[in-house]
Amino acid sequence: MNKNNKTSQAKKYDTTVLAALRRRIDGLEWGMTEAPERSPHLLGVPEIDAVLPGGGLPSCALHEITGGGNRSDVIAFCAALLAGITTDAGENTSATVLWCRGSDDLYAPGLGGFGLDLGRLLVVRVQRERDLLWVMEEGLRSGALAAVVAEPSKVTTTALRRLQLAAEAGGSMGFILRHHKDEAVAGPIATRWRVVPALSRPLRVGTALLPGQPRWQLELVRCRNGRSGRWTVEWQGMFEDEDAEGRAAGGFALVSEVRHGPHPAVAYGARPANDALSLSIQRAAL
C-alpha cells in the first residue's frame, strides 16, 4: 500500500470518528443518550428491501414522504408503513404512534383500513408550526413510541438535525409528510419517498366488481447508504382478493408489468389511483 492510500484511509477514518464524536457531544449538550438500535423494518417486498440499508427501513431515523398533489395518498402510504412497524413492536408499550398536525381533518377510520391499530394512535393538533416540530422532537426523544409523524408546512436543516438526534436518543422512527411543491431541505433524512397514485385493478367479490386495492408508484428519491429506485406496489391488506398477486408479509405486493392486452383497470374503466382514504371509507360502507 502506497503512502497516498494510507493518507486517504486515515482521513476517511478521522472524518468518521469526528462525526460520531460531534453527534455524542450534541446529545450530551441536550441531555440525550442514544437508545439501542432497533432492527430495520422490512416492507416485505424483496425488490424494495434489497436497496434499503440493512435490508429494510432504517430505525432511529427520519423518513420523508412527498406526493404528486393529493396528500391523501401520502397519508395512506404512511399509514400502511406504520401498521407494519407497530406489528413489529408486538405488545410492547413502545408500539404507539404519535401523529402531529396543524388541522383536525385526519380521518382515523380511513387509517384503520390500512391496518393501523387505532388503539395505538395518538393524534396531537397544534396551532403553531414551531409547536408541531417541538411535539415531534419530544415524542421521538421519549423512547415510548414506535414512530412519530408530522406534517409541517416548512422545516429547516437545523430542525431536521435536532429531530434526527431525538430519534437516535429515543430509538423511534420519524416520518415527515410534505406537499409535492415543497422544496427538499438538506438534512439527515435516511429515505425520501415520492408517492403518486397508479391505476388499480377492480376487486372481484363473487360476481361483483368493487373499487380495486390502492396502488402507488413509489420512487425512492434518496436513500442514505442504499440505492434509489422505482416500483409500482399494491396494498392488499383491506379485503381478500380472488385475483390478487402474491401478497408480501407487510401487506404490499409488487405489481408485475402488463405484457399482453390493456391494463385491467383500463378495461373496466377504473379511475387512476383513487383517493386511497376515500376508497377505504367507501368499502366500509358496503
Average pLDDT of the segment spanning 202-223: 85
**pLDDT at residue 218, rounded to an integer:** 95
Q: pLDDT band at 148, cuts 50/70/90?
A: very high
Grade residue 29 by pLDDT with cuts at 50, 70 and 90. Answer: very low
Tens-place pLDDT, residues 217-226: 999 999 999 9
User: What does the pLDDT read at residue 146?
Assistant: 92
Q: Which residues contact 94 (CB under 8 A, 6 or more apart)?
A: 143, 144, 145, 146, 171, 172
Average pLDDT over residues 142-151: 93
Give pLDDT, residue 99: 95
Question: Rounded to an integer, what distance in angstroms lies between the CA atom of residue 250 and that of residue 87?
Answer: 9
Rounded Cα distance between 124 and 99, Å, is 6
CB under 8 Å to 155, separation ≥6 — which residues? 133, 176, 185, 187
Q: What is the pLDDT of residue 63?
A: 97
Q: Select, from the ranges 79-83, 87-91, 200-204, 257-261, the one with the highest average predicted confidence (pLDDT).
A: 79-83
pLDDT beyond 80 at 181? no
Kindly list the distances between the CA atom of residue 100 and the CA atoms of 74, 144, 166, 250, in Å, as whole numbers in the listed order: 15, 15, 16, 24
Mean pLDDT of 115-124: 91
CA angle, residues 133, 180, 110, in degrees to nearest 5:
75
Contact between residue 250 and residue 44 where contact means Cβ atoms under 8 Å apart: yes
Distance CA 217, CA 224 (A): 20
236-265 per-position pLDDT tens digit: 865 554 444 544 556 888 987 543 444 444
Which pLDDT does position 66 carry in this prediction?
A: 92
Q: Which three cell numbers stand for residue 225?
A: 447508504
Which domains are delineated in the chain?
37-285 (3.40.50.300)
Torsional class of 175: left (φ above 0), alpha (ψ -120 to 50), beta (otherwise):
beta
Give the per-residue pLDDT at 70: 75
Q: What is the pTM of this model?
A: 0.75
How many of the other CB atoms lie within 10 Å of CB of 31?
A: 8
What's the sign of the alpha-carbon dihedral 264, 269, 272, 276? negative
The three cell numbers locating residue 281: 371509507
The pairing of strands 173-178 and 145-150 is: parallel
71 vs 62, higher pLDDT: 62
